[in-house]
Amino acid sequence: MNLSIPVQKVFDALKSKGYDPKETDTGLVSCCPAHDDRNPSLNIKAGKDGRALLKCHAGCFVEAIVESIGLSMRDLYTNGTSSEGSSRLSSIENAQSDSGSADRGSKPKGKGFETPEDAIAIYTRSMGEQDAQWDYHIAEGKLVGIVLRWDTDSGKKIRPVSIIDGRWHNEGMPEPRPLYRLPRLLESVGPIIVCEGEKATDAAIACGYTATTSPHGSKSASKADWSVLRGRDVIIIPDLDDAGLAYADDVLTLCKGAASIRIIDLSEVWPDLDKGGDLADVLAIEAGDTEAVRSKLNAFIEQTQSELPMENSERTARNYQPFPVELLPEPIRSYVDQGAKAIGCDPSYIALPILSMLAGAIGNTHEIKLKHSWREPCIVWSCIIGSSGTSKSPALERAVRPLREIQRRLYADRQRELDAARCTMEEDRDDNQVKRSARCVIDDATIEATLEVMSENPRRMLLCRDELAGWFDFGKYSTNKSGLNSAQWLELFGGKPIHIDRRTKNPIHIPRASLSITGGIQPGILRRVLNDTFLENGLAARMLFAMPPKRPKQWTDHDVNPNVEQAMQNLIDRLYQHTMNIADPDAGTENPQPHTIGLLPDAAAIFQQFYNEHNTSLQYEEEHIAAAWVKLECYAARLALIIHLVREAAGDPDLEDPERVDALSMRIAIQLVEWFKHESKRVYKVLAMDENEQENQRAIEWISRQGGEVTVREFSRGLAQYSSSGKAQQKLNELEGEGFGYFRGRKPRGKTQEFVLQNEYQSVSDTTGTATSRPQSPNKS
């Protein structure tokens, strides 16, 4: 048989690799070199234009077949290939060099291999050992993909292998693809560098940055999962060419929900950098001096403004992110999760009061030491925000229940003491003395009454008010109606000594005033009480806020497991049993002192990095938001102390040192603070909305609860203020004009259009945390 030149090339290449192709009536048949083929499954024949057509019945890609026998895709074509065919061939090879044939979808071709090494061997047979290899993992650390690179005389060649349906294939990873070094990203705090390609990313990592990239080339950014960068400060460092600029634009668009995004032009810092240069080339220019690169780059980053459009940033700030329940150690995690499902409320409604309740149980018994001159008490102020009917009250009661049980026991014990004293000493029973002497929870009191109770219970105290509106209204307890009592409340946030002289009563002196606060409030009331006074004096900044979207109340059969309830009660009992260090006059301590918990070196390094990056981010925020974020600096330490003591009380075997906070506790605390950063910014933005913006927000939340898609008729029937189709159409048009969504084409059998929310708003009412997006906390049940 006369074979065309391309078919003859394939025949000769197969023979040179030890295969024995046989001629048939239509062409050739051979065992396929791209997989372990014992029965010939590869057919080769000439096309009408003379090119070689290869078909593996096991499903191997043509690219893998030709590479395994040392040929290129160009070898399959005759010299007389048409311009159309030549153009197609060029596009194929360009796509290969950029993404390694990775963008063919997730359906695997062929049977695949047991191990990644077997899949890689397909490439190494023709190209030899790779010059570089980069591994991709999912959040849990499982290897799911590998990117390989060969540096050849004709340029770089990139090839992928990935696991699909349990087998390894010579294909790109299924979508959505994980970012490079994903587990490390989830453990990190602070800004994240995004480079174009793994080589540049490794250079950024060598310079001490947390860095990542998307797999399979600059044109495949949209196929990766960028959601892990929500709430983070993102710094994009593209290559110095048109493809790099296009990649930067893609990443800018894909990083929805990022706190800030800056794009860095390396030529501004290193003007001698060649076209197409990246951080790896910068490192070469600096002769491998990573400190020099980092110093120059940091200075430029600090003066670079965020590229995130302000209107997009404001919309992003209004999008609720579910509270990261998965970060909480057990049994708190299960208690919050099951309690929220039983009540039908957002998990944050239980989680925030629990943080205050834990701080109230610990109180003055412990403090955290960041350095010799900086110590933080265990005090947390929290506020859950929601309109009537959002289950704030039952959620608050569920959260504080374990501490109230301790108070019930204290009452009972004190009552028995007084009864015994009356029987033996004929003393009169004093019910007021019972109530004053055995307290760990205060429900409603003036500042003076609160301090009296605290002076009789110096170790700890929690103020829990179902409605914090009255507490915010300090003026009603002030003789001059100026609200100046707020200054006295502010003193309680720092755990400092308080002394008050009174005309008709004995003075009040508290060596360490430790008061944690929690409660609920309605959005409209909070909008009124958070006036300029409370914003400027810092009271609002001391509050940890949560304002999840309203959800309709519905019956649920969920309940809290009695074992989880008992485990939670046991935990609070153990925390409450902590005592303070006994006063030692010889050592200069006239009053009992808290136990001091320090930091292990890894935890200290994590906090220092957070401190620097957190304070850098403050310069980009509005005054009131920046003021709230300043207080979150101390909350990182306070929450780390709480997480540490909870893990110790729960018997966590991974706790490194009972006397010092470890890296995991600090990392969890900082992750929580990152959530509070986003939520505080969102709360301030939402509370500052005008009437029309509030209407838009309510409309968005309602559409989200319907699955993110509604017709005009459904919208008009669902919201009373848009009862007519004209009003409904007008509001949806307005939402479309402001970028919240779009109208989808008409349905096949009707004329009804559907309004679809943009992706970043479709999960606005989602209340389930995703464990894949954050590190697991200890003591998983």
DSSP codes of every residue in 653-673:
TT---TTEE-HHHHHHHHHHH
Question: Which helix (H) or strand (E) covers residue 313, if one does?
Answer: helix 310-318
Give the per-residue pLDDT at 770: 30
- E-assigned strand segments in 636-708: 660-661
- E-assigned strand segments in 364-414: 366-371, 374-377, 381-385
Residue 17: phi, psi to the nearest 5? -95, 5
Sign of the dihedral defined by the CA atoms of residues 179, 182, 187, 192, in that order: negative
Residue type, 692: N
Give the per-residue pLDDT at 768: 31
Give the per-residue pLDDT at 759: 62
* Total residue count of the chain as it appears in this document: 781
Residue 355, pLDDT above cutoff 70: yes
Closest C-alpha to 102, from 224, 211, 200? 224
- Rounded distance, CA 494 to CA 379, Å? 8
Measure Cα distances from 365 to 310, 362, 665 in Å.
Answer: 45, 6, 19
Residue type, 494: G
Measure Cα distances from 64 to 59, 109, 157, 384, 624 in Å.
Answer: 11, 11, 13, 58, 58
Residue 326, pLDDT above cutoff 80: yes
Give the per-residue pLDDT at 106: 44
Residues 388-395: what's their mean pLDDT? 87
Mean per-residue pLDDT over the chain, rounded: 81
Residues 347-371: what's their mean pLDDT? 96
- CATH T-level assignment (fold) for domain 325-426+433-586: Rossmann fold (3.40.50)
Closest C-alpha to 638, from 238, 228, 362? 362
**Per-domain residue ranges for the chain?**
5-97, 325-426+433-586, 691-762
- Rounded distance, CA 692 to CA 695, Å? 5
Grouping H, G, I as helix, E, B as strand and the rest as coil, residue 755 is strand
Which of the two residues, 739 and 108, has the higher pLDDT score? 739
325-426+433-586 and 691-762, same CATH topology: no
Give the per-residue pLDDT at 640: 97
pLDDT band for position 316 (cuts 50, 70, 90): very low
Bridge partners of residue 233, in order along the sequence: 260
Residues 456-476: what's their mean pLDDT? 76
- Rounded distance, CA 199 to CA 149, Å? 10
Grouping H, G, I as helix, E, B as strand and the rest as coil, residue 395 is helix
Closest C-alpha to 559, from 349, 292, 344? 344
Grouping H, G, I as helix, E, B as strand and the rest as coil, residue 492 is coil
Give the per-residue pLDDT at 366: 95
Q: How far apart are the first and last CA of the chain?
A: 70
**CATH code, residues 5-97:** 3.90.580
The CB density around residue 555, as the number of other CB atoms within 10 Å, is 5
Whether 180 contacts 215, CB under 8 Å = yes
Give the per-residue pLDDT at 591: 79
> Is residue 94 exposed (0-12), middle (13-18) or buried (19+ Cβ within 10 Å)?
exposed
Residues 242-246: what's their mean pLDDT? 86
Closest C-alpha to 198, from 215, 186, 223? 215
CA dihedral 450, 456, 461, 463 (to 10 degrees): -20
CA 370 and chain centroid, separation: 25
The CB density around residue 718, as the number of other CB atoms within 10 Å, is 16
Grouping H, G, I as helix, E, B as strand and the rest as coil, residue 133 is strand
The CB density around residue 222, as the number of other CB atoms within 10 Å, is 13
Question: Radius of gyration (Cα) for the chain, nearest Å?
Answer: 32
In the numeric block, which tokens belong to residue 712?
Answer: 């005009």
HEC states along 573-600? HHHHCCCCECCEHHHCECCCECEEEEEC
Give the per-residue pLDDT at 531: 63
Report the range of poorest mean pLDDT among 284-293, 475-484, 514-523. Answer: 475-484
Residue 378: phi, psi to the nearest 5? -95, 80
Give the per-residue pLDDT at 76: 79
Measure Cα distances from 577 to 251, 516, 538 in Å.
Answer: 51, 18, 33
Give the per-residue pLDDT at 53: 83
- Rounded distance, CA 66 to CA 30, Å? 13
HEC states along 404-454? HHHHHHHHHHHHHHHHHHHHHHCCCCCHHHHHHHCCCEECCCCHHHHHHHH
- Rounded distance, CA 667 to CA 209, Å? 17
> Is residue 720 exposed (0-12), middle (13-18) or buried (19+ Cβ within 10 Å)?
exposed
Question: Which helix (H) or strand (E) covers residue 462, if one does?
Answer: strand 462-467
Which of the two residues, 739 and 87, has the higher pLDDT score? 739
569-578 pLDDT, tens per residue? 999 999 999 9
- The CATH number of 691-762 is which of 1.10.10.10, 3.90.1150.10, 1.10.150.120, 1.10.3720.10? 1.10.10.10
Question: Which helix (H) or strand (E) covers residue 523, if one does?
Answer: helix 523-529
- Rounded distance, CA 360 to CA 401, Å? 13
Q: Burial code of 763-772, b = ≥16 C-beta within 10 A, e = fewer?
A: bbbebebebb
Give the per-residue pLDDT at 535: 67
**Sheet arrangement for strand 211-212:** 211-212, 192-195, 233-237, 260-263
Which of the two residues, 374 and 616, has the higher pLDDT score? 374
* Rounded percentage of the chain residues whose pLDDT exceeds 70: 82
Cis peptide before 331 (omega within 30 of 0): yes
pTM of the entire structure? 0.58
Give the per-residue pLDDT at 151: 85
Give the per-residue pLDDT at 89: 36
Q: What is the DSSP string of 471-483?
A: HH-GGGG-TTSS-
The CB density around residue 275, as the number of other CB atoms within 10 Å, is 10
Residue 750, pLDDT above cutoff 80: no
Residue 166, pLDDT above cutoff 50: yes
Which of the two residues, 696 and 80, has the higher pLDDT score? 696
Q: What is the DSSP letter of 197?
A: S
Cis peptide before 176 (omega within 30 of 0): yes
The CB density around residue 74, as the number of other CB atoms within 10 Å, is 14
HEC states along 612-635? HHHHHHHHHCCHHHHHHHHHHHHH
Phi-psi region of 707 (alpha: psi -120 to 50; beta: other; left: phi over 0): left
HEC states along 203-242? HHHHCCCCEECCCCCHHHHHHECCHHHCCCEEEEECCCCH
pLDDT band for position 490 (cuts 50, 70, 90): confident
Which of the two residues, 482 and 415, has the higher pLDDT score? 415
Give the per-residue pLDDT at 124: 87
Residue type, 521: I
In the numeric block, which tokens belong to residue 159?
Answer: 């090839």
Question: Which helix (H) or strand (E) covers residue 316, if one does?
Answer: helix 310-318
Residue 315, pLDDT above cutoff 70: no
647-664 pLDDT, tens per residue? 999 999 999 999 999 999
Which of the two residues, 487 and 559, has the higher pLDDT score? 559
